[in-house]
Chain A
Amino acid sequence: MPHLHKLIDRLTDLVGQHANLRFRFLEVCGTHTTSVVRHGLDTVFPDRLELISGPGCPVCVMPVGYIDQALRLAGIPGVIMTTFGDLMHVPGGGHRTLADPSAAGRGERVRVVYSPLDALKIAEENPRSEIVFLAVGFETTAPAVALALEKAEAAHIDNFSILPGHRLIPPVLRKMAQSGNLEVDGFLAPGHVSTIIGMEPYAFLPQEYAMPVVIGGFAPEEIIGALLLLVTLVANDHYQVINAYPKAVSPLGNMKAQGLVAKYFEPGAAFWRGLGEIEKSGLKLKEQYLNRNAAVRFKIPFRDVPDPAGCSCGSVLAGRLKPTDCPLFGLACRPEHPVGPCMVSSEGSCAAYYRYGKGGSRVVPDFVIPW
């Protein structure tokens, strides 16, 4: 990868030329975190360049109350709970998880699916059961859920509902920028979220908070290139949004996907682990589709539950703490018995640092296609 080496050299030179400046960037996306530590990019960063992890792991940001809600739903007789695999091992209150054999109680066992469309298929095949899908994920995932709802409506598959848990990236970035105690100089914006939303939703960051934003891909060269752009912008006092992942991201995003999401959902206030309730940062089902909301259908409302004792996931997600600085990291908390979600999800920062990072084991498994 001669080109990668050239980009790293340039990055080092450019940072070196600005000895009076600090370059501290928030990598919004968990897939970026994983790619950075997995390829050891953090070990070649020049001094004064630092990348800190943010709230970009959709499973990690779900509050404990959501997991509890899912556990209560899974225990209802006649309900088949379906979920992305990442949620299975996230501890709810009392350390129970959806993977516990007792999770389903008298209900049916929880099934892992790769796509909400697979959950819909289970609903079609089991007309006498109620199928609930745990709809977590950022803007990237919401279109697939909207498509499952669209198909359920068209084919009158009435035994299919979701527990809405989608979270939106721009509102959480606004909240972090507003908080004033986030000491970063710019954002590495998530490539796959941006394929859906495009560039415009980030424009407030340069305009209102003087923070440059670069949308980046996930290969080592794409990440180093994006950092080089961020350093260039900061060094020149240029505040704008740059799309450094044009091979997949268009300026307006995927308008068909945006359209279908807007048909079923609207933004509403939502809870984030570590960050609390944030205005318009979640997707709630529109009034006319409320019967597709499992919480309404089965009368299992959300209750706010405190985070597990000793877990600092909230601070990690808010960009205030490095995973390796959590006192439980690698000791009481490991992927085999995680204390918090950041150690569970494949995109959780703690799991990434434990598996590949400086403080961890640096065992690199083969790339796994998730189905």
Chain B
Amino acid sequence: MCLAIPGRVIEIQTCAPPAPQMVVMDFLGVIRDVSTNFIDAVAVGDYLLVHAGCAIAKLAAEPAGAGGAEASALWEALINHAASS
């Protein structure tokens, strides 16, 4: 149930505060409205992690290819940190 799903923002719905802040998101072709009250400065094209109709985190841009050099560098840095601190 703590499953959260990443999706891409395709449209910002303009509502004046205190109205809910909503965006339209694309989840692998499934389109759904999502509340973004908990996320700062949402723009079209952002990837958000969504749980129970609410975005809970903005995802940092993926390093080029999940198995790419940047991903390796991240693990390398974390492992060095764990071994040496």
Contacts and interface: CB of A to CB of B under 8 A. Distances in A.
Interface in B8-57: 18, 20, 27-28, 30, 32, 35, 37-40, 49, 51-54, 56-57
A244 B38 contact: no
Contacts of A223: none
Given A116-B52, A221-B67, A86 B1 contact: yes
A57 to B, nearest CB: 7
A225 B72 contact: no
Contacts of B18: 154
B67 A3 contact: yes
Interface string A228-245: 110011001010101010
Contacts of B1: 30, 57-59, 84, 86, 136-137, 141, 345-347
Contacts of A247: 59-60, 62
B83 A192 contact: no
B84 to A, nearest CB: 8
B79 interface: yes
A38 B85 CA distance: 34
A121 to B, nearest CB: 10
A159 interface: no
B20 A151 contact: yes
Interface in A44-98: 56-59, 84, 86
Contacts of A228: 75, 79
Given A3-B72, A192-B4, A240 B59 contact: no
B81 A242 contact: yes
Contacts of B72: 3, 6
Contacts of B3: 31, 192, 346-347, 370
A369 B4 contact: no
> Considering residues B27, B52, B71, B72, which has the most beta carbons from chain A within 10 angstroms of its beta carbon?
B52
B81 A144 contact: no
A195 B57 CA distance: 6
Nearest to A6: B72
21 contacts: A6-B72, A29-B2, A30-B1, A115-B53, A117-B54, A143-B54, A154-B18, A190-B2, A192-B56, A221-B66, A232-B82, A233-B82, A238-B82, A242-B78, A248-B49, A257-B38, A347-B2, A369-B30, A370-B3, A370-B5, A371-B32
Given A147-B20, A151-B20, 5 more contacts: A117-B20, A192-B4, A242-B81, A257-B38, A369-B5
